[in-house]
Chains A and B, each alone.
Chain A
Amino acid sequence: MTPNTVVKPIGFAIATILALALPWISPNLYYLHIFTMIAVYWILISTLNLLVGFTGQLSIGHVGLLAIGAYTYCLIAPFGGEWPYLALLAGGFIGGLIGLGLGLPSLRLPGFYFAMVTLAFGLIVSELALAEQWLTNGSVGLEAPSLPAPFNTQTTFHLFVVTIAAVITLMTWNLSRFMWGRAMISVRDSDVAAMSVGVSIFRTKLTVFVFSGVTAGIAGGLYAASQSYITPDAFIPDLGMFFFTAIIVGGRGVIVGPLIGTAILAALPEISGPFQRYGVLFNGVALLFVVLVAPGGVSELISTIHNRISGKGRRPAAPADLDVLKTIITGATVHVG
Chain B
Amino acid sequence: MLKTINISRRTILLAGGAAALAGRFPTPAIAQNKPIQLGWIVSLTGVFSNSAQAQDFGAKAAIEQINESGGIEGRKVELVTRDSAADPTKAVNYAKELIYNTSVDAICGPTNSGEALPTLGVVAAANRIHVVLGSVDDLINPAKYPLAFRQINTNSQWVKASTIHAVQKLNKKKVAIICDTTGYGQLSAKVAKAQLQALGMEPAYEALLDPNQTDATDQINAARAAGADAISMWSNASGIVARVLNARGEQKWDVPVVAHPAALYKQVGDLLTKPAYWENVYSPAYDFCIVDQAGKLPASTQAFFDRYKGQYEQFLAAGMWCIFQGQAGPLIYASGVKAAGNLDAAAIAQKLNTGMEVGTPSGIFKYSDTDHNGYADSNLVMVAASSLQPNGGYRAA
Contact at B183–A130, with CB atoms within 8 Å?
A: yes
Using A130-B181, A140-B117, A228-B122 as known contacts, say yes or no to A234 and B44 having CB atoms under 8 A apart: no
Which of B87, B97, B99, B187 is A270 in contact with, Cβ under 8 Å? B97
Q: In the docked arrangement, what's the CA distance between A189 and B138, Å?
A: 64
Task: State how many residues of chain A have any CB contact under 8 Å with chain B.
Answer: 32
Q: Smallest distance from the beta carbon of B235 to chain A beta carbons, Å?
A: 13
Q: Smallest distance from the beta carbon of A44 to chain B beta carbons, Å?
A: 14
Using A28-B100, A131-B181, A133-B186 as known contacts, say yes or no to A141 and B118 having CB atoms under 8 A apart: yes
Enumerate chain B residues within 8 angstroms of A37, measured Cβ to Cβ. Answer: 93
Enumerate chain A residues within 8 angstroms of B88, measured Cβ to Cβ. Answer: 227, 229, 231, 233-234
In the complex, the number of residue pairs spanning A and B with C-beta atoms less than 8 Å apart equals 89
Enumerate chain B residues within 8 angstroms of A269, measured Cβ to Cβ. Answer: 90
Can you spell out 15 A-B residue pairs with CB atoms less than 8 angstroms apart? A29-B99, A30-B99, A33-B96, A33-B100, A131-B186, A139-B182, A139-B183, A140-B138, A227-B89, A227-B92, A229-B119, A232-B183, A233-B86, A233-B88, A236-B87
The 3 closest A-B pairs by CB, nearest first: A139-B183, A229-B118, A29-B100
Bitwise interface map of A from 4 to 39 toward B, beta carbon under 8 Å scored 1, else 0: 000000000000000000000000111101100100
Q: Smallest distance from the beta carbon of B159 to chain A beta carbons, Å?
A: 16
Enumerate chain B residues within 8 angstroms of A28, measured Cβ to Cβ. Answer: 100-101
Using A31-B101, A276-B83, A277-B85 as known contacts, say yes or no to A139 and B184 having CB atoms under 8 A apart: yes
Check if A56 is an interface residue, CB within 8 A of chain B: no
Contact at B118–A276, with CB atoms within 8 Å?
A: no
Restricting to A85-136, which residues have a CB under 8 Å from any CB of B?
130-131, 133
Q: Smallest distance from the beta carbon of A315 to chain B beta carbons, Å?
A: 42
Contact at A30–B100, with CB atoms within 8 Å?
A: yes
Enumerate chain A residues within 8 angstroms of B186, measured Cβ to Cβ. Answer: 130-131, 133, 138-139
A sample of 4 more A-B contacts (CB under 8 A), given A28-B101, A229-B118, A234-B87, is: A33-B93, A139-B187, A231-B114, A231-B183
Check if A279 is an interface residue, CB within 8 A of chain B: yes
Check if B106 is an interface residue, CB within 8 A of chain A: no
Contact at B187–A140, with CB atoms within 8 Å?
A: yes
Restricting to A219-248, which residues have a CB under 8 Å from any CB of B?
227-234, 236, 238-239
Check if A143 is an interface residue, CB within 8 A of chain B: yes
Check if B121 is an interface residue, CB within 8 A of chain A: yes
Which of A139, A227, A239, A270 is B114 in contact with, Cβ under 8 Å? A139
Restricting to B176-224, which residues have a CB under 8 Å from any CB of A?
181-184, 186-187
Q: In the docked arrangement, what's the CA distance between A228 and B122, Å?
A: 7
Contact at B187–A277, with CB atoms within 8 Å?
A: no
Q: In the docked arrangement, what's the CA distance between A37 and B100, Å?
A: 16
Contact at A229–B181, with CB atoms within 8 Å?
A: no
Enumerate chain A residues within 8 angstroms of B120, measured Cβ to Cβ. Answer: 229
Check if B45 is an interface residue, CB within 8 A of chain A: yes
Which of A133, A138, A229, A277 is B121 in contact with, Cβ under 8 Å? A229
Contact at B114–A30, with CB atoms within 8 Å?
A: no
Q: In the docked arrangement, what's the CA distance between A140 and B59, Å?
A: 26
Q: In the docked arrangement, what's the CA distance between A30 and B97, Å?
A: 5
Enumerate chain A residues within 8 angstroms of B114, measured Cβ to Cβ. Answer: 139, 231, 233
B185 nearest in chain A by CB position = A139
Check if B61 is an interface residue, CB within 8 A of chain A: no
Q: In the docked arrangement, what's the CA distance between A291 and B73, Å?
A: 57
Which of A231, A236, A239, A277 is B44 in contact with, Cβ under 8 Å? A277
Q: In the docked arrangement, what's the CA distance between A228 and B136, Å?
A: 19
Contact at A229–B93, with CB atoms within 8 Å?
A: no
Enumerate chain B residues within 8 angstroms of A30, measured Cβ to Cβ. Answer: 96-97, 99-101
Enumerate chain B residues within 8 angstroms of A31, measured Cβ to Cβ. Answer: 101
